[in-house]
Amino acid sequence: MKYASPAPSAVSLADPVLAPRVEANRAATIPACLRHFEKEHCIDALKLKWKKGDKWWPHIFWDSDVAKVVEGMARELSRRPDPALAKELDRVAKLVVSAQQPDGYLNTHFTLVEPEKRWTNLHDWHELYCAGHLMEAAVAHFEATGERFFLDAMRRYADLIAKTFGRGRGQRRGYPGHEEIELALCRLAQATGERKYLDLAAYFVDERGRKPNYYVEKEGWEEWRLPYLQAHLPPREQREPVGHAVRWAYLCCGMADVAAATGDAGLLEACRAMWKNATERRMLVTGGIGTARDGEAFEREYKLDNLTAYAESCAAIGLALFSRRMHAITGEGRYLDVLERALYNGIPSGASLSGDRFFYQNPLASDADSPYARERQEWFYCSCCPTNFARFFPQAAQLCWALAPGEVRLCIPAASELRLGNGLCIQVKGRYPYDGRIAIRFVGSSVSSAASAPRNPSAFSLSLRIPGWCAKFSLAVNGRHVAAKPRDGFVSLKRAWKPGDAIVLDLAMPVQVLRANDAVAADAGRIALQRGPLVYALESVDNGPALHRLSIPAKQDFRLVPAKGLPRGTVAIAGTAFETTRPGDALYSEAAPRTRRRRFVAIPYALWQNRGPAEMQVWTREA
């Protein structure tokens, strides 16, 4: 990777949007997940308590859910010490390891329920997927605690998998139906220094989609179903995203990791092409992907319906993680534009502000009959999304910064702090994403102690991202204007930085009126409002029912107003709309419609459904 993320303990957030989400995750999301694990018997499964005749049975993907929460707990502990959290993490991690079998295998379903079916249905049964999440959890646990028992257990599991799968005599030529282990093995290789785990990740990537096809020859799948698993072609030959959106995103993360570690230009080019197609022709304006309810999958290009859009929370998280990797490899700011779009819109919309209620799907419209007009759910039978939030939000501060030799990058200008190893600390202040004025100041590593300031200044480039949505900006260093032209989405300031140096970056943040490509039939004649990175939505709480009757003139003086019933400081957009009704009760008639002028209010899309049951729409008819 060209750019690395800072250590979790070196960064912190103080912004009005991301920081509260991180704290809600710590205080509510992780404890809620653990409570549901007890209630749903996930913990009992790890204790190997299930027996034939019980009313419950360990599901094929339960281990992955527990693993994601363990990873989240470890990431939280890496951010900030917490003795109680450390104790709970130790308890759950040891419980997971206790379920490992003598040969290294670890899967509660196939250990307890169907031991004879181990590795017999790779396309559907999630064994390798669960193994991948367990490996990621083990790496995060090791990084947070320095203890090796979980990491060593997952090394034994990875060694068993390497012995089972491959091109050697007596090995299976299979690969996971639900990708995830590829990226996990790359993380395991980094944590252990063992090249063999990277080689296994590369095998799983390269074996996928080869002829004769493993799923067709060994597991009886029909050829037409292969695109759903991204198994219709070898990944390096694929140029368009197809099939299940989360699987696709995790595959691309693994491909990017292998490409970065090995210098594989072919894999990287495939990643570039698929990312470009996904984000330019198949992505919702909120950063959601996978719009088909049937299979949680990609649809054809430009088929981006609003009311029926699936846009699974996990898919938006996967796209963000993929985009983060592509920036780390290439340094190009366009990948961060998509990461930011998902981070502020399509991802947080899936979790309530309280942190304990969730959406699995994130459509762009919800009417009175939609299940989304009701409140978020506490849990799901398939609980991959709540548990994914548990491990994603602790990474938010790290997403804001990137490091390379001689360079520090501010990728997302949320109020935050980065503590550098040279004794310097970079503080970012402001109300982004509600305000575009960002104040950056260099201080000693401890603000309260002047003795902590370095004696000698440090020379490096501080690169500031200019978002793709920003058409105009100004920049000043120590009170003096600096003329700068972005390159690959960044302006770079190189000098010997010292405590007291100050930068002001002002990003123009007017209300923008967006229109979709003509090929997007669902949005023909409609507009969406965006300000900065935030996509806005009309909600019936502010505008009354029957939002479909409204139309908004694009040319008007939009006003910024406080959002009612949402966190203090939340900025809403207000303006003029027209409401059209037709007199009479007849289902069809020649009666001319009546139109009246009225006021509308739009709130950040990510905050809808936090004030009770509501209708919602992002795309509104243009007056």
Measure the CA–CA gap between 417 and 169, rounded to whole angstroms.
53
Please give the pLDDT value at position 72: 98
Same domain, 115 and 173: yes
* Domain's final residue, options 449, 482, 507: 507
Same domain, 437 and 574: no
Range with the poorest average pLDDT among 22-31, 377-386, 535-544: 377-386
241 cis-preceded (ω within 30 degrees of 0) = no
Measure the CA–CA gap between 528 and 558, rounded to whole angstroms.
13
CB 30 within 8 A of CB 351: no
Quote the domain boundaries for residue 593. 512-622
CB 313 within 8 A of CB 389: yes
Measure the CA–CA gap between 257 and 268, rounded to whole angstroms.
9
Our answer to whether residue 207 is catalytic in this structure is: no
> What are the CA-CA distances from residue 326 to residues 260, 270, 276, 385, 400 (Å)?
9, 12, 11, 23, 15
What's 304's DSSP letter? Answer: -
Of 186, 253, 314, 384, which one is the catalytic site residue?
384
Please give the pLDDT value at position 61: 95
* Domain's final residue, options 232, 260, 278: 232
In one letter, which amino acid is 553? P
Angle in degrees, 0-180, between the axes of helices 313-330 and 384-392, rounded to the nearest 10 = 40
Same domain, 458 and 557: no
Pick from 543, 540, 544, 511: nearest CA to 527 = 511
Please give the pLDDT value at position 458: 79
Confidence of residue 454 (pLDDT cuts 50, 70, 90): very low
Same domain, 455 and 538: no
Token pair recorded at residue 451: 């003795």
Please give the pLDDT value at position 511: 98
Measure the CA–CA gap between 443 and 448, rounded to whole angstroms.
10
Pick from 28, 101, 29: nearest CA to 63 = 101
Kindly state whether residue 15 falls inside one of the protein's structural domains: no
What is the reported pTM? 0.97
Kindly state whether residue 51 falls inside one of the protein's structural domains: yes
Please give the pLDDT value at position 422: 83
Kindly state whether residue 315 falls inside one of the protein's structural domains: no
Helix (H, G, I), strand (E, B) or coil at 178: coil
pLDDT tens-digit map of 7-60: 999 999 999 999 999 999 999 999 999 999 999 999 999 999 999 999 999 999
Same domain, 497 and 516: no
Same domain, 72 and 148: yes
Measure the CA–CA gap between 73 and 144, rounded to whole angstroms.
9
Measure the CA–CA gap between 397 and 407, rounded to whole angstroms.
18
* Domain's final residue, options 217, 232, 247: 232
> What are the CA-CA distances from residue 623 to residues 104, 253, 572, 577 (Å)?
64, 42, 20, 8
Helix (H, G, I), strand (E, B) or coil at 88: helix
Which residues touch 381 (CB under 8 Å, ≥6 apart)?
none
pLDDT over threshold 70, residue 455: no
pLDDT tens-digit map of 551-574: 999 999 999 999 999 999 999 999
Kindly state whether residue 19 falls inside one of the protein's structural domains: no
Same domain, 601 and 464: no
pLDDT over threshold 70, residue 452: no
pLDDT tens-digit map of 464-510: 999 999 999 999 999 999 999 999 999 999 999 999 999 999 999 99
Measure the CA–CA gap between 547 and 600, rounded to whole angstroms.
10
Confidence of residue 450 (pLDDT cuts 50, 70, 90): very low
Q: Which conformational region is residue 284 in: left (phi greater than 0), alpha (psi within -120 to 50 degrees), or beta?
A: beta
Same domain, 474 and 497: yes
pLDDT over threshold 80, residue 110: yes
Token pair recorded at residue 546: 């029957």
Same domain, 103 and 214: yes
Q: Which residue has the tokens 């590829």?
A: 182
Range 144-173 average pLDDT: 98
Of 71, 182, 296, 312, which one is the catalytic site residue?
296
Please give the pLDDT value at position 327: 98
Measure the CA–CA gap between 12 and 7, rounded to whole angstroms.
10
Q: Which residue has the tokens 């193994």?
A: 131
Provide the number of structural domains found in the chain. 3
Kindly state whether residue 530 falls inside one of the protein's structural domains: yes
Range 353-362 average pLDDT: 96
In DSSP terms, 358 is beta-bridged to 351, 377
Domain containing 422 — which CATH number?
Answer: 2.60.40.1180
Handedness of CA 134, 138, 139, 143 (dihedral sign): positive
| Average pLDDT over the chain, rounded to an integer | 96
Confidence of residue 456 (pLDDT cuts 50, 70, 90): low
In one letter, which amino acid is 557? D
Please give the pLDDT value at position 9: 96
How buried is residue 143: exposed, middle or buried, by Cβ count under 10 Å (0-12/13-18/19+)?
A: middle
Same domain, 425 and 532: no
What's 307's DSSP letter? Answer: T
Please give the pLDDT value at position 448: 36
Confidence of residue 453 (pLDDT cuts 50, 70, 90): very low
pLDDT over threshold 50, residue 210: yes
Confidence of residue 447 (pLDDT cuts 50, 70, 90): very low
What's 369's DSSP letter? Answer: T
CB 73 within 8 A of CB 85: yes
Question: 316-346 burial by CB neighbour count: b if 16+ within 10 A, else e?
Answer: bbbbbbbbbbbbbbbbebbbbbbbbbbbbbb
Which residues touch 126 (CB under 8 Å, ≥6 apart)?
60, 61, 64, 177, 178
In one letter, which amino acid is 540? S
Please give the pLDDT value at position 482: 96
Measure the CA–CA gap between 181 and 179, rounded to whole angstroms.
6
The dihedrals phi and psi of 537, each to the nearest 5 degrees, come to -140, 150
CB 82 within 8 A of CB 56: no
Kindly state whether residue 280 falls inside one of the protein's structural domains: no
Measure the CA–CA gap between 488 and 28, rounded to whole angstroms.
39
Our answer to whether residue 425 is catalytic in this structure is: no
Same domain, 499 and 527: no
Range 611-615 average pLDDT: 93
Q: Which residue has the tokens 């060994």?
A: 218
Range 203-216 average pLDDT: 97
In one letter, which amino acid is 394? P
Pick from 573, 599, 594: nearest CA to 582 = 594
Q: Which residue has the tokens 């290789």?
A: 189
Please give the pLDDT value at position 561: 98
Kindly state whether residue 365 falls inside one of the protein's structural domains: no
Helix (H) or strand (E) holding 273, with range, is helix 265-281
Pick from 346, 386, 360, 234: nearest CA to 296 = 360
Same domain, 421 and 567: no
Kindly state whether residue 551 falls inside one of the protein's structural domains: yes
